[in-house]
Chain A
Amino acid sequence: MPAPATSPRRLTLATSAIFLALVVLGLTFVIPFLWQILISLSSLTDVDLLSQTGFPPVLKPGNYPLVFEKVDFAKYFFNSFFVAGWVTLLQVLTSSMAAYAFSRIAWPGRDKVFLLYLGTLMIPGVVLMVPNFAVVLALGMFNSYWGLIIPGAFTAYGTFLLRQFMLTIPPSLDEAASIDGAGHWRIFTQVILPLARPGLIVLAIFSFLGNYNSFFWPLILTKDDNLRTLPIGLLAFDSTYGRETPLIMAGSLMAMIPPILVFLFLQKYLVRGIQLGAVKG
């Protein structure tokens, strides 16, 4: 048997020091969340004691169901998933089709139109908020799911990201498929989309997380409680029940779970996507 290749595993002083520093730093990331958990399990009267005792005298898991009783937290959850889910689906669909047109078909004026797309990426979102509000108002989408979903469904960013991704697929594949007898729609669905899957997943993650956390737009667009997404619901919860810190912490903790799950399962795509997004066009 050949000896296994030995990787350098000498625990030098420097690496040990770095490891130790990372553990300490890591604790500063863990402890706030532990603190949040502890508060969410405290009774209201014990919250102030926590800074002295470090642990609640009485554990109250009942805070969690209580959140759902105080406000329509389930509805907020549903709204967040519903809106973020639809935006993600539509965005991936429209962006991937547009990216196909920008990356796989040579048509007159393509680069100019793409430059226009790229140019709007530089425009701050805040500049768009005000006119978009007016547009949505004019379209009668104010205070509705439509208004929350439709404006987010078409992004220049998604198109840009997927175009970058599709450019890495060799053009000879389209040509081979074309000689094999495939038309554009078939090349798109059977060759490009399967190969761009990591890019689609990246966009889907970004889009879902972005819309799940989205604040400004739902804030100005929703009036009714039953349209509120989690961030807006939490904010309203905080301004109504702000003194009830355990409930606020329980609510925000629950709101944090979906992004963490997304991250745990899809982290390799996410890391790649962030790095891809930095590639110059």
Chain B
Amino acid sequence: MSQVTLTNVKKVYDGKVTAVHDFNLAIEPGEFVVFVGPSGCGKSTTLRMIAGLEEITSGTIEIAGRVVNDVHPKDRDIAMVFQNYALYPHMSVYKNMAFGLMLRKMPRPEIRRRVDEAARMLGLDQLLDRKPKALSGGQRQRVALGRAIVREPKVFLFDEPLSNLDAKLRVTTRTEIKNLHQRLRTTTIYVTHDQEEAMTLGDRIVVMSAGYVQQVDSPLGVYRRPVNRFVAAFLGSPPMNFLEGTLRRDSGIVFQGAGVRLRLPDAPGLAAALDKPVVLGFRPSAMSERQEGKFQPPPGFARGDNALRLRPKVIEPLGEMIDASCETDTGHRVIARIDAREDFPLNQPVDLYLDMQHVHVFEPGEFGRNLILAG
């Protein structure tokens, strides 16, 4: 039995604006699920509906097998960590963590025990008497975590908890949250707009846009097998390259357009889209200067069939790799992340070889389907 189940959940504001359309998801006990998407995609609204902070327009939400549509947040057995931490400024760290337990009339020694344990786990033991104002951003974040932990809820809800921290702290806290989850094994729903956070934290990722769920899959699943152009574009940094063109039948199926020509592996979805406008997509890391390993042409392809002739314009060295910003003959831009070398030539045509396993073809439009998967 799943821990949290959302069935046909819908949210309409003021009878006009639909924030979430028909959301369906079943979350297993102990699972770490991340909702990710650009701002305004409905991910926070969904989380807040699970928490009971927003009313559900239609559909049902179940927590541990109980329909909670009309259950007050305090009775849903959840705990939430807010983006701005929502620590009570007038209460000490101890009181902040204990407040919820006190309201539940838990005996004092038990409260003490739980708070002390959580504080030890989070390294807050020395700070229990301080007010939130006297804490650093990272410490406040940990108090917010502690407040959720002491409740020992069935579900943790995180609403962009790291977005107020600086880059370095964000990475360490991310690891801490992951550790915590591995220790406590509490079902967790985590909302973020940061795709890197989503990839590193989640057991499963729910990619959302414009109120719709675009894809639900494991981190590598959504990264490697994006079901549509939106998911492909949203995940990965630098983002996936997209070139517009058409599919033709030549020696096999060939993509042509934006100044490039590329033979594609046979796939049923592609055959159906012949002579129609499509969008070619491949990640910067799916390219190499050397035609070896996974960058060799697949069986049946001629040598060089998987090559793109590009003109590097700007390079950004990253250390082991470089990001080369290149142009096709028609001036369309392609970013390539390739092995670094000192004497990389600029403004001269160079052949870069694609890993054909990771080349995608989408229907046109922002949400165009992935034709290779569709087949």
Contact = CB atoms under 8 A, between A and B. Distances in A.
The short answer to whether A and B are in direct contact, CB under 8 Å, is yes
A272 to B, nearest CB: 17
A224 to B, nearest CB: 45
B51 A177 contact: no
A170 interface: yes
Contacts of B87: 176
A175 interface: yes
A179 B103 contact: no
A89 interface: no
Contacts of A173: 86, 88
Contacts, number: 55
A191 B91 CA distance: 9
A69 interface: no
Contact of B51 (A179, A181, A186, A191): A179
A178 B83 contact: no
Given A172-B82, A172-B83, A176-B82, A182 B103 contact: yes
B90 A179 contact: no
Interface string A164-191: 0000001011011111111000100001
Contacts of A178: 52-53, 72-74
B103 A180 contact: yes
Interface string B67-94: 0000011100011101110111110000
B109 to A, nearest CB: 19
A195 B88 CA distance: 9
B53 A181 contact: no
Most chain B beta-carbon contacts within 10 A, residue among A175, A177, A179: A179
A175 B79 CA distance: 11
B23 interface: no
A51 B79 CA distance: 76
Interface string A185-221: 0100001001100000000000000000000000000
Given A172-B83, A177-B99, A182 B88 contact: no
A179 B89 contact: no
Interface string B146-170: 0100010000000000000000000
A259 B90 CA distance: 29
Contacts of A180: 74, 99-100, 103, 147, 151
A194 B99 CA distance: 15
Contacts of A176: 80, 82, 86-88, 147
A179 B84 contact: no
Interchain residue pairs A-B with the least CB separation, the first 8: A180-B100, A172-B86, A181-B74, A181-B103, A176-B86, A172-B82, A194-B90, A179-B73
Interface of B: 51-53, 72-74, 78-80, 82-84, 86-90, 99-100, 103-104, 147, 151
Interface of A: 170, 172-173, 175-182, 186, 191, 194-195
